[in-house]
Amino acid sequence: MPAISSSAPGKIILFGEHAVVYHRPAIAVPVHHLQTKVYLTANPTAPSGQVKIHAPDIGLNATLAELPDQHPFSLLFKLIRQHFRITRIPAVHIKIKSDIPIASGLGSGTAVSVALIRGIAQFLAAEINDQDVSDIAYEVEKIYHGTPSGIDNTVISYEQPVYYVKGEKPVLVAVPRVMQFAIGISGVRSKTSKAVAQVRDFREREEEFVESLFDEIGEISFKARKVLEEGSLQELGSLMNSNHLLLERLGVSNKVLNTLVNAACASGALGAKLSGAGLGGNVIALVTQSTAAPVQQALLEAGAVFVYLTKLHAAC
Ligand code: PMV
C-alpha cells in the first residue's frame, strides 16, 4: 500500500500574544512554506494496533506502546481513537519530518499534532473537520503549558489568518493583498510555559498594571484586524511596533529580541515585534519587495541565526 501523507504549516502571531491567554483578542497567520509532513504506511505483518513512530528531528524511533502515558503522542493517539470511536488503529508505520524550527515560537509541536490527526483520519478513510482537528490539538497543547489560549492550534488547523478570542468561535480574516514578513530566529530557545508563568506571576504582583497592558494589546489586535482587511501596510507596521513596546513592558522581551527588532526597523521594515511567547524564539518584521533583502541582512548582522522570508497571500 502506498504511503499516505499529510502536512500542517507553521505559524506566527501577528498581534496579541500573552494578552490572548487572558481573553483579549489576538491575530495569527499560517506560515505555509514551513511545513511538518507525516507519512503513514500500513504494516500488515505487525500486530494490529502497533503504531511505530520515526521522528528523526526529535530523535524518536519507538512504538507508541513504548512511550510513557504522559508523552504528547500517547495522549494524541488516545484522543484520536476516542474521536473516531475505535479501540485500535490498524498497524502503521509513521514517519514525521519537519522544517519548522523547534521552540522558536513557530508552532512546531502543534503542527506535528495537526499533521498526525489529519494523516490518521486519511489512513482510516474518515472525515474530520478543522474545528475537531483544532480541539484535539488543543488538548495536547495543555501538556506543553497548562493554560494555552488555543490560538496556535486554531491557526494551524484552519491554515488561514485568524482573529481569535479564547473560548469564542475563531474569525477568519481575509487579507486583500500579499504581505511579506521576515522572521528572524533569535537562536535562543524559549519555553512557552516559562514565559506564560512569568507573566502570570507579574500579574499576581501588579494586577492593575498588567491588566492595563493586556487592554492596550487587545485594542491593538482589534484595530489590526480592520487594518489587515484593508491592507494598509504602514498602519500595520506601526501597530506591530506599539505591540512590541507593550510586550517589552510586560517583561517578555529581552536584549537579543530588542536588538533584532531595532535592526529590522532601522533597515527599512515597516514595523517589527517579537512573536510568540518571547524571552527568545523569533521576531517578525513587515517588509516589502524592496526592503526584504536589506532587512534579512540586517537581522543576520544583528545576531539572528536564521531569517525566513515568507508571504501571506491574498484571499481569493
Ligand atoms: O510560543 P508560542 O508561539 O507557542 O506562543 C504562545 C502564545 C502565548 O500567547 C504566549 C500563549 C498562548 O497560549 O496563547
Looking at residue 22, its amino acid is Y
Residue 316 has a pLDDT of 61
Residue 315 has pLDDT above 80, yes or no: no
Q: Please list the alpha-helical segments (H only) found in the chain.
A: 72-83, 108-123, 130-144, 151-158, 192-205, 207-230, 233-249, 255-266, 292-301
Ligand 1 closest atom vs CA 12: 3
Cell 497543547 sits on residue: 141
Q: Which pTM value belongs to this model?
A: 0.96
Active site residues: 152
Supply the DSSP symbol for 300.
Answer: H
**Between the CA atoms of 61, 63, 65 and 71, what dihedral angle is there, to the nearest 10 degrees?**
40
Tell how far the Cα of 131 is from the centroid of ligand 1, in angstroms.
Answer: 19
Mean pLDDT of 39-63: 93
**Between the CA atoms of 200, 206, 208 and 210, what dihedral angle is there, to the nearest 10 degrees?**
-50
Residue 271 has a pLDDT of 98
Tell how far the Cα of 94 is from the centroid of ligand 1, in angstroms.
Answer: 28
Question: Which residues form the pocket of ligand 1, taking CB atoms under 6 Å from any ligand atom?
Answer: 13, 17-18, 20-21, 105, 148-149, 151-152, 192, 195-196, 276-277, 281
Query: Could you tell me the pLDDT band of residue 314, with boundaries at 50, 70 and 90?
Result: confident
Ligand 1 closest atom vs CA 196: 10
Share of the chain above pLDDT 90, in %: 90
Torsions phi, psi of 71, nearest 5?
Answer: -65, 140
Residue 311 has a pLDDT of 93
pLDDT digits (tens, 9 = 90+) for 160-210: 999 999 999 999 999 999 999 999 999 998 889 999 999 999 999 999 999
pLDDT digits (tens, 9 = 90+) for 66-95: 999 999 999 999 999 999 999 999 999 999
Mean of the per-residue pLDDT values for the chain? 95
Residue 160 has a pLDDT of 96
pLDDT digits (tens, 9 = 90+) for 128-164: 999 999 999 999 999 887 789 999 999 999 999 999 9
Cβ contact 50:89 at 8 Å: no
Residue 1 has pLDDT above 70, yes or no: no
